């Protein structure tokens, strides 16, 4: 009965109500110096498609992404890019100076934390205090109707 008891302690037995769903929700993260706290999905998409290059404070946008072939990128490709994998790779190749490709969550978090103007996408359960999390269309990850949610 162990887990049941822990759950009861943590949630006071809301039997079917947990933040269930192992569906991944991606947090949009930026460095702590970034004073932007919220974006529309439209503006976010423009940024990740390299259609907008500057933050309001004038810094260049640097997009930090996982390897496009990784499973972590599938939600992003589906929600933000609406592209076939080959198109997506070509887009990245055309904007090499504005994109950093990483191969681990740790690398992604460290890159966003340390590169001025960086923006990245990471599983919400991996965020730490060294980065800021942006609202998208007024919502944070795990809120009802959040945009970057995989199924």
Partner 1 sequence: MLFRSTVYALPRSLTLLLAVALPLSAWAAPADTKPMPLGMTVTTKSVKARHYFEQGLAKEWTLHIQECLENMRKAVVADPNFALAHVLLSTFSQDPIEQVSEMEKAVATKKYASREEQLIVEWFSNSSRGQWIPAIQAMNTALQQWPGHRELQWLAGLWLTGQQQWARAIPVYQRTLRLDPEFPDAWNNLAYCYARTRQFDKAFAAMKKYTELLPAEPNPQDSFAEISRMAGSFEEAVSHYRASLTLDPNFIESQLGIGDTYALMGDEPRARKEYAIAIGKTSKDDQARAVLWSIQAAATYVREGDFDGADAAFQTQAGQAHENGFGNLEAQAYRSMAMYQKDSKKAAEWLAKAEATLDEKHKVAKQFVDQERAVILRTRVYRALQDSDLAAAGAALEQLRQLADTTNDGNVAMNLHSAQGALLLVQGKIEEAIPLLEEDDRNPYAMKGLVTAYEKAGRNADAERTAQNLAGFNEPVMEQALVVPQFRKDRVAKKPDQQTTAIRGGRIL
> Positive or negative CA dihedral for 64, 52, 33, 129?
negative
Range in contact with partner 1 (rule: CB under 8 A) among 6-14, 33-41, 54-62, 91-99: 6-14
**Interacting residue with partner 1 among 56, 86, 96, 129 (CB under 8 A):** 129
Is residue 143 part of the contact set for partner 1 (CB under 8 A)? yes
CB of 24 to partner 1, least distance (A): 10
Is residue 128 part of the contact set for partner 1 (CB under 8 A)? yes
Mask for 71-110, x = binds partner 1 (CB under 8 A): ----------------------------------------
Shorter beta-carbon distance to partner 1: residue 20 or 97: 20
Q: What region, left, alpha or beta, does residue 119 occupy, with left being phi > 0 and alpha being psi -120 to 50 degrees?
A: beta
* Count of residues near partner 1 by CB under 8 A: 38
Beta strands in the chain (DSSP E): 26-31, 38-39, 62-66, 99-102, 118-123, 131-136
Buried-exposed string 86-110: b where 16+ CB fall within 10 A, e elsewhere: eebeebbeeeeeebbbbeebeebbe
End-to-end Cα distance, the chain: 30
Shorter beta-carbon distance to partner 1: residue 91 or 127: 127
Q: Any idea which residue has 């974006």 for tokens?
A: 39
Is residue 51 part of the contact set for partner 1 (CB under 8 A)? no
Footprint of partner 1 (CB under 8 A)? 1-23, 27, 124-130, 133, 140-144, 151
């Amino acid at each position: 009965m162990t887990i049941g008891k822990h759950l009861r302690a943590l949630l006071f037995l809301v039997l079917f109500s947990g933040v269930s769903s192992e569906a991944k929700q991606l947090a949009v993260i930026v460095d702590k110096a970034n004073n932007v706290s919220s974006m529309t999905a439209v503006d976010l998409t423009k940024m990740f498609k390299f259609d907008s290059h500057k933050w309001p404070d004038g810094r260049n946008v640097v997009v930090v992404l996982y390897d496009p072939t990784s499973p972590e990128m599938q939600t992003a490709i589906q929600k933000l890019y609406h592209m076939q994998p080959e198109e997506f790779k070509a887009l990245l190749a055309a904007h090499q100076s504005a994109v950093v490709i990483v191969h681990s969550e740790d690398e992604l978090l460290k890159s966003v934390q340390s590169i001025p103007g960086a923006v990245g996408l990471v599983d919400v359960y991996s965020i730490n205090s060294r980065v800021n999390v942006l609202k998208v269309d007024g919502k944070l990850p795990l809120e009802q109707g959040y945009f970057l949610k995989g199924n």
